[in-house]
């Protein structure tokens, strides 16, 4: 039975949000407003009494009494106004939060076709900046008109009480303003509507360019994109200028009529006072009342303007998203269905812009069967799969799962029973583990009150699935490239030290030749001079050369070791050679890989050389500049200069005295390389090899990591490294992963959910043959008999194990049967398989 359609958030009037969950606060506001009005009018009467009775009768007692009451009323009015503003702001922000969350929930349920036509920038700007004004307005939508209308009426009544004629003259200018302001506001609203559309266009352009930045760089289309941006920005500039000009005219009109009031009062009020028809105290009170009368009037005009702008924005936003979700989100008054996986399609058709993509497709498959869908390009394979996954809605025919019409099943029913893997899966920013558990956590949120329906997989289950589909080696590599704190993760650190010992004794001589092991008796060609000198590193992991320069006694220590001058000379020589070789390409960082100097530093160092020829003239800071360059120098990475063998031997002899100096003067600041200790500033990989991979061989690091991965598996440590690798951050849209890694992650993500129906749209197309075979083996062996599988397959050699093969052409099923049946038939599948 079809679920009842719910009322769309886009159909809700703007003012319907005012009382939603805020009735108590709104009543409190009304009470505070009434009290505030009294304390705003009361000082006017005190002004009159101070002039007439205190000053006029020269009574100090009355002067102090009325002044005290005046001060107290002003203070209380201010405090109450502060409280009202705080409550208004809270209500406004709460309403903004409610609108945003409700609209966001609505938007993410809209059909996929909506998002294919709608730029992300438009969605972002609508949910953020466009709704802010709406929230601010609705927070004060009741209190602002209430307080100002009551204040206006109260002040008006008091003015009539003081002098009806003067009051009538004062009110006469307001009808004129009521006519002019709305006309100007109407023009402002029209411009504001255009401004919203242009702003969205600009946001869409920015979002599009940022998403396609690879194409921009690849085609050097900077001027093209800048010109596109400039055109829209120029249009926005013109519209905003017109809007502000109109707004200033409104402000001018308000100010003009505000200043006209006192003019009228001085003429008429002065005349009445001179004639004795109005006492001086009443005139002072009347003038004060008139000034205060304009405050609520001005706020009402601003409220009207804010209402117009909020109304325009609210309607514009809601109109953009006024589409009904294709499917209901969750069932009402029943639990989600548990499906077995029997599927039947009867004359299913799907059209795009009047063109049939699927044409009268019929298919029947029992539960737990594994169906491969193959066919020619554009035959409708992916469309059929997406209909079955409830991504698209079919236009005619019937799709039934366990005799339930697919249209009538809610998204929660589908999520509980079906797992869908796209050809190009989306990977969320965050860790691998968060991405793996995304589907499970989504279900867990849907069934928060029923923990038996779905529970988050254990680490053992995650590791098992990762290994089954061949993602384990990738994640182990991420784990090897990560860092760990040996104090907080002591167990894993001890395991790494054990594997280090096994690696040192690895029998493969080819692997050994690819690593330069740490040795206290050898100069390390792949390490910096600073690392060679200290035979260690600073505890922070920062470049040791930079750290050494911060210690005052270090220059004397280098001098005592006979290293001060040689290091300065080496640094100066590196600067000279770098400048001579790279002065013509100093803006290109690529060429500076062969030197420890960066392209940004070269000019600075060269100026020092030009100014000072004699080393004795160098200041301490300048000496350190050259010493730091020398300490960064790594022979195998920076072939810009050669380091004499004698100097290397001398550095080795300086290691012990340098260590004694550092341990004595800076205890705990430096950590020294020790085979029996974990080195926290290095990755797990480098801790295992206890050295550095030589850079001469192009595949050296890859080969060493393969050997370590095998060693890790042999010694049953892969689980710990996988858990460490699961913390790897994949970057925006998974940009730090390869296409194959994204697909394996997406497959693992769905398998962890344990769906009863698995739908895959060329989900292994980016995998290498070995990985694809591993995934197919898992599907064929581990899911057989328990899961219905429908898979669009690109590589036809992978379909042999499927129970049935569906062949599609031009939106129709043209053949179906087992692999052997279709080969023997020598029809469409036979031609596809043999490439005929």
For 595-608, what is each residue's pLDDT tens digit? 999 888 888 888 88
Which of 441-445, 483-487, 613-617, 830-834 is predicted least confidently?
613-617
Closest of 818, 788, 774, 814 to residue 800, by C-alpha: 818
Domain definitions of the chain by residue range: 12-320, 343-455+732-833, 519-674
| Cβ neighbours, 10 Å, residue 836 | 8
Average pLDDT over residues 205-213: 75
Q: How confident is the model at residue 530 (pLDDT cuts 50, 70, 90)?
A: very high
- Residues 767 and 474 sit within 8 Å (Cβ to Cβ): no
Q: What phi, psi does 487 have (nearest 5°)?
A: -80, -40
Average pLDDT over residues 756-784: 90
Q: H helices of 379-431, where?
A: 381-388, 411-417
Burial class (CB in 10 A: 0-12, 13-18, 19+), 703: middle
pLDDT at 465 over 70: yes
Query: Which H or E run includes 241?
Result: helix 222-274
Q: What phi, psi does 396 have (nearest 5°)?
A: -150, 165
User: d(Cα 395, Cα 358) in Å, to the nearest integer?
Assistant: 10
Q: Note the CATH number of domain 12-320.
A: 1.20.1560.10
Q: What is the pLDDT of residue 452?
A: 55
Question: Buried b / exposed e across 723-754, counting CB within 10 Å, b at 16+?
Answer: bbbbebebeeebeebeebbbbbbbbbbbbbbb
Question: Buried b / exposed e across 246-266, counting CB within 10 Å, b at 16+?
Answer: beeebeebbeebbeebeeebe
Show the tokens assigned to 46: 């005190």
Show the tokens assigned to 403: 């005799």
Question: What share of the chain in percent tops pLDDT 70?
Answer: 91
Q: How confident is the model at residue 294 (pLDDT cuts 50, 70, 90)?
A: low
pLDDT in tens, 149-206: 887 777 777 777 766 766 666 666 666 666 777 777 778 778 877 887 788 788 778 7
Q: What is the pLDDT of residue 215?
A: 67
pLDDT in tens, 722-734: 999 999 999 988 8
**Global confidence as pTM:** 0.77
Q: What is the pLDDT of residue 288?
A: 65
- Residues 727 and 519 sit within 8 Å (Cβ to Cβ): no
User: d(Cα 510, Cα 521) in Å, to the nearest integer?
Assistant: 23
CATH of 343-455+732-833, one of 3.40.50.300, 2.40.50.140, 3.40.980.10, 3.30.70.100: 3.40.50.300
Enumerate the β-bridge partners of residue 348. 361
pLDDT at 657 over 90: yes
Token pair 């031997």 is found at 649
Cα→Cα distances 783→295, 409, 757, Å = 74, 24, 10
pLDDT in tens, 793-823: 988 888 988 999 999 999 999 999 999 999 9
């Amino acid at each position: 039975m079809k679920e009842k359609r719910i009322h769309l958030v886009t159909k809700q009037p703007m003012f319907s949000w005012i009382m939603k969950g805020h009735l108590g606060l709104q009543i409190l506001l009304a009470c505070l407003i009434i009290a505030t009005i009294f304390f705003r009018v009361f000082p006017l009467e005190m002004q009159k009494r101070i002039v007439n009775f205190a000053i006029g009768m020269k009574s100090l007692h009355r002067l102090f009494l009325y002044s005290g009451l005046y001060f107290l009323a002003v203070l209380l009015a201010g405090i109450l106004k502060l409280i009202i503003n705080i409550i208004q702001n809270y209500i406004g922000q709460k309403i903004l939060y409610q609108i945003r969350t409700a609209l966001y929930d609505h938007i993410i349920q809209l059909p996929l076709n909506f998002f294919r036509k709608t730029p992300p920038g438009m969605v972002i700007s609508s949910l953020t900046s466009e709704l802010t004004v709406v929230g601010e307005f609705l927070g004060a939508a009741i209190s602002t008109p209430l307080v100002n209308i009551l204040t206006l009426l109260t002040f008006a009544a008091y003015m009539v009480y003081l002098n009806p004629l003067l009051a009538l003259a004062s009110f006469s200018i307001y009808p004129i303003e009521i006519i002019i302001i709305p006309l100007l506001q109407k023009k402002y609203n029209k411009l504001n509507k255009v401004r919203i559309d242009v702003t969205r266009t600009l946001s869409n352009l920015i979002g599009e360019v940022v998403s396609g930045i690879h194409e921009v760089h690849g085609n050097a289309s900077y001027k093209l994109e800048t010109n596109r941006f400039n055109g829209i920005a120029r249009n926005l500039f013109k519209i905003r200028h017109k809007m502000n000009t109109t707004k200033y005219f409104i402000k001018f009109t308000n100010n003009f009529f505000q200043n006209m009031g006192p003019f009228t009062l001085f003429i008429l009020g002065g005349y009445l006072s001179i004639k004795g028809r109005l006492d001086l105290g009443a005139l002072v009170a009347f003038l004060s009342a008139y000034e205060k009368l304009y405050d609520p009037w001005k706020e009402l005009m601003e409220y009207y303007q804010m209402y117009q702008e909020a109304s325009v924005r609210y309607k514009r936003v809601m109109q953009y998203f006024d589409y009904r979700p294709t499917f209901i989100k969750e069932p009402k008054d029943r639990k989600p269905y548990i499906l077995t996986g029997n599927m039947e399609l009867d004359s299913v058709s799907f059209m795009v812009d009047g063109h049939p993509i699927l044409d009268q497709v019929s298919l029947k498959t029992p539960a737990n069967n594994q169906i491969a869908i193959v066919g020619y390009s554009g035959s409708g394979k992916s469309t059929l799969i997406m209909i079955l996954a409830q991504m698209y809605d079919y236009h005619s025919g019937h799709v039934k799962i366990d005799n339930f019409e697919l249209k009538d099943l809610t998204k929660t029913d589908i999520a509980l029973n079906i797992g869908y893997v796209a050809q190009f899966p989306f990977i969320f920013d965050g860790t691998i583990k968060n991405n793996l558990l995304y589907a499970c956590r989504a279900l867990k949120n849907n069934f928060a009150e029923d923990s038996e329906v779905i529970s988050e997989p254990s680490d053992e289950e995650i590791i098992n699935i990762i290994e089954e589909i061949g993602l384990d080696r990738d994640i182990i590599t991420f784990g090897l490239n990560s860092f760990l704190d040996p104090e907080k993760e002591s167990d894993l650190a001890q395991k790494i030290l054990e594997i280090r010992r096994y690696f040192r004794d690895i029998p493969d001589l080819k692997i050994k030749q690819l690593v330069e092991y740490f040795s206290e008796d050898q100069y390390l060609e792949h390490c910096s001079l600073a690392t060679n000198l200290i035979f260690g590193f600073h505890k922070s992991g920062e470049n040791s050369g930079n750290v050494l320069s911060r210690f005052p006694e270090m220059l004397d220590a280098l001098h005592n070791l006979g290293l001060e001058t040689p290091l300065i000379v080496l640094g100066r020589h590196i600067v000279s050679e770098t400048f001579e070789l790279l002065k013509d390409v100093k803006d290109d960082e690529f060429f500076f890989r062969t030197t420890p100097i960066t392209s940004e530093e070269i000019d600075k160092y060269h100026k020092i050389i030009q100014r000072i020829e004699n080393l004795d003239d160098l200041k301490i800071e300048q000496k350190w500049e050259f010493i730091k360059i020398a300490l960064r120098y790594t022979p195998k990475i920076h072939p810009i200069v050669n380091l004499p063998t004698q100097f290397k031997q001398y550095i080795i002899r300086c290691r012990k005295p340098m260590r004694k100096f550092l341990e004595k003067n800076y205890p705990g600041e430096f950590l020294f390389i020790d085979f029996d200790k974990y080195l926290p500033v290095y990755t797990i990989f480098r801790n295992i090899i206890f050295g550095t991979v030589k850079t001469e061989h192009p595949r050296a690091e890859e080969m060493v990591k393969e050997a370590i991965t095998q060693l890790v598996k042999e010694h049953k440590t892969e689980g710990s490294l996988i858990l460490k690798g699961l913390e790897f951050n994949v970057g925006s849209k998974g940009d730090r992963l390869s296409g194959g890694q994204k697909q394996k992650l997406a497959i693992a993500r769905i398998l962890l959910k344990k769906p009863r129906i698995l739908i895959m749209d060329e989900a292994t197309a980016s995998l290498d043959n070995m990985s694809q075979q591993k995934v197919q083996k898992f599907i064929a062996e581990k899911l057989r008999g328990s899961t219905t599988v429908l898979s669009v397959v690109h590589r036809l050699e992978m379909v042999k194990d499927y129970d049935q093969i569906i062949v599609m052409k031009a939106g129709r099923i043209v053949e179906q049967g087992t692999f052997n049946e279709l080969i023997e038939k020598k029809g469409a599948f036979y031609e596809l398989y043999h490439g005929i």
